[in-house]
Chain A
């Protein structure tokens, strides 16, 4: 697999490593080295550090490796061994070094992130996603200098796994901090268009579209609605029949309000009548806007095509409740709640169903459940 430019050793990568080192230092028990190891180990460790400081990576790697053979429970050595291998594009041995380090210090989000990025480079995407997920949850992306590289990799992996919304949330976090990166823009375009392709695998003929979509998406995510609207309007004119474009803009606009999103989803289903997800989301936002009669047929269509799609079922049930069919609504909502007891929309719907049926105490109970579930 060809290496994208940003994965080559560079000042950015080096600064990442140095910063990660700073993050790690407090947890690495360096004092044990001086107290417990023979003179040969101390000599190797000192020579390895000197080689590292002189940026002689091959020599530093060799010396750290020898030192670890003498003292395999030396965390600092494994860290530098892994980091220097990573900086040398030697990803499998880097992963091995980080494995050793994580065996010694399992709760190190920064090391987890480094291993995840190395796994990404070896195309071990499932492992990489697992590691970066854990790293981000552990706070590895809280360090501003490391955040872009960690979140961009994480977002690409999320989109590759078909988790487009979580991917866009990662990109939004970066865009809101005015991070601007060509890979990020391409990634936003891919996630927005519901593509599981990784940026480096995008064909040259598709790159233009995805980048243009990403530019529009990034403008929106960085709160520049006006530019976003202009760019999306250009895209709609340039690609009038391309599926997923209106879906993406609708998804973004839904953050600002249902009424803004609805026309986009309506355009999407007009272009791609078989896009069940678009029908379901159109129904959902119509329901959100209180336009239940319009939501109902869209939700019926989505449920018929994808009977297990939860958002479609909840939307259909709520629409039924608000348009008079409370019995079928209650049945559907109870089915959803059976599978997903914490589904807030289902409980909101059930509260409405009971209220409309005059089941005052049941409605009150459901409202209390809602209050317990709200964010």
Chain B
């Protein structure tokens, strides 16, 4: 990845102004800026010189691709939900309680009924881009919806983790009541500026993860960059080693420490990818080839093509590249090559798992020789 001294950055920024004025495409931007490295080169959007500065002003390519990424849409507010627009009436039954999620004119409501009683609440927050769980408000309290929308079967089902709950009345049937800590945790991972220290600041939040949710200091950097000061660059996350990346992503996707400290075990843990990855025998903390970021670019949508990941596996397991790869300080490990196949590695070594009661399939990030019929490890 190219690095930039303060001097060269300054010179580059001055050049950019001229380029913007001249409305010249800025492919140069993604080459020079750390954040844009390894991105497909997208056209730089030139903005008028007096337009407000945003991250996209300089990082247009990344910003454009990130606008479609899952994390960007981790939370949606009402009126921005194509899933519910295309499924205007959804129904589900849990015991004696009937659930209806109805969408009309951009407004979605969540109704729970039992006998002749019913309770209808507006859907205030939509967590998730494809599969969704909703947060609802009643009498000043927040509730995680007891039913969720599952993308795989395009229907409602019980919210993972809430399937043990047996409601005794309509209010309980809404879903799990969220205390301040849970509200803090939910919104902190699904939105930006939702939390200030320990306080939940829902009035200030931006739905989904904005740039500065991960790139701490981005706002300062942007303010300084406007004055040609590039001394306050945010940390370059792509340079994190595997251990740091797992801990960083694990803030929301759950770290090894978090899962172990809580004693969580079993198939539902397949959702906690950093934890599962660190269970892999090949995981090496100081080797970027086993980093979350080796396979995933958070600025892009997840690639569901198994073949896409082959090059990542072969970075270690190709015979001619046994060790001494860039980004690795491990020289002693003799890597094994696969005697079965040379393509679509993840289909065997990272099997798909559907946790019980969850209408969604997850890739098990515990990389291993998975044998047919073997129990789910750990």
Contact (A263, B198) CB under 8 Å given A355-B283, A355-B285, A360-B282: yes
- Complex interface bits, B286-328 against A, C-beta within 8 A gives 1, otherwise 0: 1100000000000000000000000000000000000000000
In the assembled complex, the Cα of A189 lies from the Cα of B287 at a distance in Å of 50
Partner-contacting stretch, out of B82-90, B142-150, B255-263? B255-263
A352 close to B (CB within 8 Å):
yes
In the assembled complex, the Cα of A272 lies from the Cα of B156 at a distance in Å of 54
A357 close to B (CB within 8 Å):
yes
Which residues on the A side are within 8 Å of B171 (C-beta)?
Answer: none
A9 close to B (CB within 8 Å):
no
B279 close to A (CB within 8 Å):
yes
Q: How far is the CB of A324 from chain B (nearest CB, A)?
A: 12
Nearest chain B residue, comparing its CB with the CB of A256? B181
In the assembled complex, the Cα of A374 lies from the Cα of B258 at a distance in Å of 11
Q: When the two chains form their complex, are residues A356 and B285 in contact, meaning their CB atoms are under 8 A apart? A: yes
Q: When the two chains form their complex, are residues A375 and B181 in contact, meaning their CB atoms are under 8 A apart? A: no
Contact (A257, B257) CB under 8 Å given A360-B284, A367-B278: no
Nearest chain A residue, comparing its CB with the CB of B255? A290
Q: When the two chains form their complex, are residues A370 and B260 in contact, meaning their CB atoms are under 8 A apart? A: yes
User: Which one of B263, B286, B333 contacts A356 once the chains associate, using CB atoms below 8 Å?
Assistant: B286
Which residues on the A side are within 8 Å of B14 (C-beta)?
Answer: none
Which residues on the B side are within 8 Å of A356 (C-beta)?
Answer: 241, 243, 285-286
B260, B279, B333 interface centre (most CB from chain A within 10 Å): B260
Q: How far is the CB of B181 from chain A (nearest CB, A)?
A: 4
The A interface, classified by DSSP as helix, strand, loop or mixed, is helix
Q: When the two chains form their complex, are residues B260 and A344 in contact, meaning their CB atoms are under 8 A apart? A: yes
A63 close to B (CB within 8 Å):
no
Which residues on the B side are within 8 Å of A363 (C-beta)?
Answer: 283-285
Q: When the two chains form their complex, are residues A225 and B243 in contact, meaning their CB atoms are under 8 A apart? A: no
A202 close to B (CB within 8 Å):
no
Which residues on the B side are within 8 Å of A358 (C-beta)?
Answer: 284-287, 329-330
Which residues on the B side are within 8 Å of A367 (C-beta)?
Answer: 256, 278-279
A236 close to B (CB within 8 Å):
no
In the assembled complex, the Cα of A367 lies from the Cα of B274 at a distance in Å of 13
- Complex interface bits, A273-305 against B, C-beta within 8 A gives 1, otherwise 0: 000000000000000001000000000000000
Nearest chain A residue, comparing its CB with the CB of B285? A355
In the assembled complex, the Cα of A357 lies from the Cα of B242 at a distance in Å of 12
Q: How far is the CB of B137 from chain A (nearest CB, A)?
A: 16
Q: When the two chains form their complex, are residues B284 and A259 in contact, meaning their CB atoms are under 8 A apart? A: no
In the assembled complex, the Cα of A259 lies from the Cα of B197 at a distance in Å of 8
Nearest chain B residue, comparing its CB with the CB of A361? B281
Which residues on the B side are within 8 Å of A348 (C-beta)?
Answer: 256-257, 260-261
B117 close to A (CB within 8 Å):
no
User: Which one of B181, B241, B256, B287 contacts A260 once the chains associate, using CB atoms below 8 Å?
Assistant: B181
A239 close to B (CB within 8 Å):
no
Q: When the two chains form their complex, are residues A355 and B284 in contact, meaning their CB atoms are under 8 A apart? A: yes
B184 close to A (CB within 8 Å):
yes
Count B interface residues, CB 8 Å.
Answer: 31
Q: When the two chains form their complex, are residues B284 and A257 in contact, meaning their CB atoms are under 8 A apart? A: no
Q: How far is the CB of B358 from chain A (nearest CB, A)?
A: 23
Q: When the two chains form their complex, are residues A259 and B198 in contact, meaning their CB atoms are under 8 A apart? A: yes
Q: How far is the CB of B276 from chain A (nearest CB, A)?
A: 12
Which residues on the A side are within 8 Å of B333 (C-beta)?
Answer: 360
Chain B residues 186 to 230 lying within 8 A of chain A, measured CB to CB, are 197-198
Q: When the two chains form their complex, are residues A374 and B180 in contact, meaning their CB atoms are under 8 A apart? A: no
Nearest chain A residue, comparing its CB with the CB of B182? A256
Q: When the two chains form their complex, are residues B263 and A357 in contact, meaning their CB atoms are under 8 A apart? A: no
B107 close to A (CB within 8 Å):
no
Which residues on the B side are within 8 Å of A374 (C-beta)?
Answer: 260-261, 263, 265
Which residues on the A side are within 8 Å of B260 (C-beta)?
Answer: 344, 348, 370-371, 374
Q: When the two chains form their complex, are residues A225 and B179 in contact, meaning their CB atoms are under 8 A apart? A: yes
Q: When the two chains form their complex, are residues B263 and A375 in contact, meaning their CB atoms are under 8 A apart? A: yes
Nearest chain A residue, comparing its CB with the CB of B280? A364
Which residues on the A side are within 8 Å of B330 (C-beta)?
Answer: 358, 360
Nearest chain B residue, comparing its CB with the CB of A261? B198
In the assembled complex, the Cα of A375 lies from the Cα of B265 at a distance in Å of 10
Contact (A371, B198) CB under 8 Å given A257-B181, A360-B283: no
Q: When the two chains form their complex, are residues B180 and A225 in contact, meaning their CB atoms are under 8 A apart? A: yes
Q: When the two chains form their complex, are residues B283 and A260 in contact, meaning their CB atoms are under 8 A apart? A: no
Q: How far is the CB of A172 from chain B (nearest CB, A)?
A: 16
In the assembled complex, the Cα of A367 lies from the Cα of B366 at a distance in Å of 13
Q: How far is the CB of A78 from chain B (nearest CB, A)?
A: 44
B378 close to A (CB within 8 Å):
yes
Nearest chain B residue, comparing its CB with the CB of A292? B247
Residues of A in contact with B (beta carbons under 8 Å apart): 223, 225, 256-257, 259-260, 263, 290, 344, 348, 351-352, 354-358, 360, 363-364, 367, 370-371, 374-375
- A sample of 5 more A-B contacts (CB under 8 A), given A355-B243, A356-B285, is A263-B197, A290-B247, A358-B284, A358-B330, A360-B283
A-B contact pairs, 26 of them (CB 8 A): A225-B179, A256-B179, A257-B185, A259-B197, A263-B198, A290-B247, A344-B261, A352-B285, A354-B285, A355-B243, A355-B284, A356-B243, A356-B285, A356-B286, A357-B285, A358-B285, A358-B330, A360-B282, A360-B283, A360-B285, A360-B333, A364-B283, A367-B278, A374-B261, A374-B263, A375-B263
